Amino acid sequence: MAITSGLFRTKSVEQSIRDTDEPDSKLRKDLTARDLTIFGVAVVIGAGIFTLTARTAGTVAGPAVSLAFVFAAIACGLTALCYAEFASTVPVAGSAYTFAYATFGELIAWIIGWDLILEFALAVSVVAKGWSQYLGEVLGGTLTPIAHIGSIQFDWGAVLIIAIVGTLLATGTKLSSRVSAIAVAIKLIVIALVLIVGITYFKASNLSPYIPPSQPSAKADGVHQSLFAWLTGSGGTSFGWFGLLSAASLVFFAFVGFDVVATTAEETRNPQRDVPRGIFGSLAIVTVLYVAVSLVLTGMVSYKDLQSGNATLATAFAIHGATWVKNIISIGALAGLSTVVMVMFLGQTRVLFAMSRDGLLPRGLAHTGKNGTPIRLTVIVGSICAVLAAFVDFGTLEEMVNIGTLVAFVLVSIGVPILRRTRPDLKRGFRVPLVPFVPILAALACFWLMLNLSLETWLRFIIWMVLGAIVYFAYGRTHSALGRRAAPAEEPAVSPVR
């Protein structure tokens, strides 16, 4: 029985499923396991495979960057088990937000929803700017995607990709999946070509020492150091085992987005079967690709040749004189980033859609059009992200995406044993093995990655959460659909005795 009063009132799984049948806010069920796997690969394989691997190898982990990807993948894999159980049990839009509403209650659900808004909005805007940069490289300098309006820079390339993606998502999720499939095919072909060419320059001696000796990090002071370094007073280090663990927190950004697959559960024909398959299939594919690329990269050149801080996969090929590969990498990155923007955009609208349908945000935003998509939300999200991408220089704000994702991962992991205990009767299309051991291990792994994020990132995150609390108590709590359904039943208990 759901708790229907106070800050921790829970929304029953049955009520969440009934809400999906409201005619005015009904999403179309078009997606299959194949579509979900494509979405997962589409959002996870972006420009990070071409840039993040080289930068992390050169400045933080050395050749052990491939092991850092494995550590990050293990944390994601443990969490993926928890997401798969929730998504197969509560096949409703909203992902971690919806799961939290059924387990922790409304306040925690709002916190996760507000957290995901930050994650997806920043991800869409940051990745759109990256797409624009690669567009400039593909155009070969003949046309720049940056326009100058007085002293203001306007990134029209970023606005262009957000507008294209928004139009596709408003037209229909199935069409978006087909476009993603084409883009995914392009970037997988590019990655395969890079691996084939790169392995011809491979030297095993470049992988030694696999874990280089530790040394002080350039970001060892003030708010730039990790929370773990600040708490222990140890100072930041690069390379060595601590550098390797820190690298795992950084390359975790490369995996951000696989959880978006869970947000599409409501639009999946057979969510109990297909959502787990989509999550695990996409995660397995991208982990193999990341490890393969990082091994080839660090085998091509010494990690010391990648220490500039701006090194990319193209840098390794340039050292060997194969500069022609740079153009191929730019095309692959352009295709890769297009799909990342699309799927992150999709995740943002579906979380906001679920929160609006629950009344925590204006319910009118949950209206769906004739194509079964939330057009109003798509326009609003697209407009906000376009403005951010066009005019804001994000800098270190990219780490905010990581902390937002990890907080959601921790709470979803903890939620599995809670829902097992409170609702053992629910039909679960997928069950996490070894509960509560696996969920607890998943939560601890994600929390460790959070500790290795910078103190600056934590402070910004706390400010965002405080702002979210203000919005909830000013609007969400009083407009909650769950609270209003409970209100008539509560009135007799508080009326005076005559």
Q: What is the mean pLDDT of each run of 10 residues along the chain (498 residues)?
A: 62 80 70 81 74 82 89 86 84 78 88 88 86 81 79 89 90 73 84 90 90 72 72 70 78 73 76 82 88 91 82 83 82 83 85 90 84 85 91 70 83 90 86 92 88 84 93 91 68 44
Strands 237-238 and 146-149 come out as unpaired
Q: What is the rounded CA–CA span in Å between residue 176 and residue 378? A: 13
Count the helix, strand and coil residues of the chain and give each as a percent rounded to the nearest 5. 75, 5, 25
Q: What is the rounded CA–CA span in Å between residue 159 and residue 227? A: 35
Alpha carbon 2 to its chain centroid, in Å, reads 30
Of 496, 143, 130, nearest in space to 332 by CA: 130
Helix (H, G, I), strand (E, B) or coil at 454: strand
- In this structure, are residues 335 and 186 in contact, taking their beta carbons and an 8 Å threshold? yes
- In this structure, are residues 210 and 63 in contact, taking their beta carbons and an 8 Å threshold? yes
Q: Which two tokens stand for residue 479?
A: 């407009």
Class of residue 411 by CB neighbours under 10 A (exposed 0-12, middle 13-18, buried 19+): buried
Per-residue pLDDT at 491: 46
Strands 215-216 and 237-238 come out as antiparallel
DSSP string, 95-144: THHHHHHHHT-HHHHHHHHHHHHHHHHHHHHHHHHHHHHHHHHHTTTSS-
Q: Return all residues near 488 (Cβ < 8 A) that are at least 6 apart.
A: none
Q: What is the rounded CA–CA span in Å between residue 82 and residue 103? A: 13
The one-character DSSP state at 146 is E
Of 329, 304, 300, 328, nearest in space to 316 by CA: 300
- In this structure, are residues 396 and 457 in contact, taking their beta carbons and an 8 Å threshold? yes
Q: Which two tokens stand for residue 229?
A: 């370094």
Of 95, 24, 89, nearest in space to 346 by CA: 95
The residue type of 190 is V
Bridge partners (DSSP) listed for residue 154: 147
Bridge partners (DSSP) listed for residue 216: 237
Per-residue pLDDT at 200: 92
Per-residue pLDDT at 123: 84
- pTM comes to 0.80
Which backbone phi and psi does 96 adopt, to 5 degrees? -60, -35
Bridge partners (DSSP) listed for residue 63: none
Per-residue pLDDT at 220: 56
Per-residue pLDDT at 398: 66
